[in-house]
């Protein structure tokens, strides 16, 4: 088995160029990346560096222009047909006319699960995100943080091994975000998922990740890949340790060097 087969996501010389009326936009340029099972990978970089585009290529919502990419050893299209991943968007994107449990049930309905199986999975996933007892509420009855947890439950409901999260906590205040970061780490450890997580926040990326992918725009590219030396056990105050600050420093340097390339 070669490296591409055993990776959850493997990209080689991956390029994606959007053709626009203003000319080509090089959203991804020669991206090389391997994501292994069980890793927590953050993508960090300024707006326009191709973070969302990369997740969308994994999810088969965009097509590469050249290079190769595999998802669970398959093409993104095959992986999509097998529902290899769950997707969590920046806004919770819950349907306001559906209760929380009906929102979580949506992918299960689409996949034709039995009523009993649906009930079981809804209970399990709401429990995983600490929303037991909130299934009958409507989204507007929940706080922003709870809504985002409900959208994570929905992405977890069909138990895909890969979770794609595009700035899921970007709109939340820092205290709520801290709390959700802690919960997400616990959930990741309990479920053994592979997570691809987009963020603008250096502390968030360093706190959560086993691997940090630093990106730069124009063209969108990877400028650094950091395998985190931090232990897996991470209380929030790990953020004050020298080891943490050292990784944060390297991320900051990577972001800065990406910027200095610009004319």
Binding stretches for Mg ion (CB under 5 A): 52
- Per DSSP, the three-state class of 15 is strand
Q: Minimum distance between the CB of residue 49 and ligand ADP, rounded to whole angstroms? A: 4
Q: Which is nearer to Mg ion, 27 or 180 (CB)?
A: 27
Give the residue, chosen from 10, 39, 42, 50, that forms a contact with ligand ADP under the rule CB under 6 A. 50
| DSSP helix/strand/coil, 213 | strand
# of chain residues touching ligand ADP (CB under 6 A): 13
Which of 148, 10, 21 lies closest to 89, judged by CA?
A: 148
Q: Tell me if 7 contacts ligand ADP by CB under 6 A.
A: no
Closest by CA to 193, choosing from 151, 237, 229, 163, is 163
Distance in Å from the first CA to the final CA of the chain: 43
Q: Is 164 in the site for ligand ADP (CB under 6 A)?
A: no
Task: Report what 260 binds from Mg ion, ligand ADP, none; CB cut-off 5-8 Å by kind.
Answer: none
Could you say which residues in the range 118-147 bind ligand ADP, by CB under 6 A?
none
- What is the smallest separation between the CB atom of 189 and ligand ADP, expressed in angstroms? 27
Regarding 53 and contact with ligand ADP (CB under 6 A), the answer is yes
Angle, helices 115-128/174-191, rounded to nearest 10 degrees: 120
Compare residues 120 and 259 and give the one whose CB is closer to Mg ion. Answer: 259
Query: What is the rounded (10 degree) CA torsion for 81, 124, 236, 139?
Result: 80
Q: Are 180 and 145 in contact (CB under 8 A)?
A: yes
C-alpha to C-alpha distance for 129 and 174, rounded to whole angstroms: 19
Choose the stretch contacting ligand ADP; rule: CB under 6 A; options: 41-49, 186-194, 231-239, 252-260. Answer: 41-49
Q: Judged by CB under 6 A, which stretch of 44-52, 66-74, 128-136, 138-146 contacts ligand ADP?
A: 44-52
Verify binding: residue 52, ligand ADP, rule CB under 6 A.
yes
Q: Does 21 bind ligand ADP (CB under 6 A)?
A: no
Q: Distances from the Cα of 44 to the Cαs of 142, 202, 209, in angstroms?
A: 29, 8, 11
Neighbours of 66 (CB within 10 A): 11
Q: Does 18 bind ligand ADP (CB under 6 A)?
A: yes
Q: Residues interacting with ligand ADP, by CB under 6 A?
A: 18, 20, 25, 27, 45, 47-53, 220
């Amino acid at each position: 088995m070669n490296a591409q087969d055993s990776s959850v996501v493997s990209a080689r010389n991956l390029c994606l160029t959007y053709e626009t009326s203003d000319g080509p936009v090089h959203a991804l340029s020669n991206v090389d990346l391997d994501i292994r099972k069980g890793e927590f990978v953050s993508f960090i970089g300024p707006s326009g560096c191709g973070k969302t585009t990369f997740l969308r290529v994994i999810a088969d919502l965009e097509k590469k222009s050249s290079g190769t990419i595999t998802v669970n050893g398959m093409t993104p299209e095959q992986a999509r047909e097998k529902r290899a991943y769950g997707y969590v968007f920046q806004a919770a994107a819950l349907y306001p006319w559906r209760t929380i449990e009906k929102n979580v049930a949506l992918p299960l309905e689409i996949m034709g699960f039995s009523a009993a199986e649906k009930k079981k999975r809804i209970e399990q996933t709401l429990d995983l995100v600490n929303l037991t007892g909130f299934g009958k509420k409507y989204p507007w009855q929940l706080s922003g943080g709870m809504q985002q947890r409900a959208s994570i439950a929905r992405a977890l409901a069909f138990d895909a091994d890969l979770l794609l999260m595009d700035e899921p906590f970007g709109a939340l205040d820092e205290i709520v975000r801290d709390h959700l970061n802690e919960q997400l780490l616990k959930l990741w450890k309990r479920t053994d998922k592979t997570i691809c997580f987009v963020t603008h926040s250096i502390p968030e990326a360093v706190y959560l990740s086993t691997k940090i992918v630093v990106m730069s725009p124009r063209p969108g590219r990877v400028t650094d890949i950091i395998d985190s030396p931090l232990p897996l056990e991470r209380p929030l105050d790990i953020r004050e340790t020298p080891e943490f600050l050292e990784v944060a420093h390297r991320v900051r340097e990577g972001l800065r060097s990406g910027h200095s390339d610009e004319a």
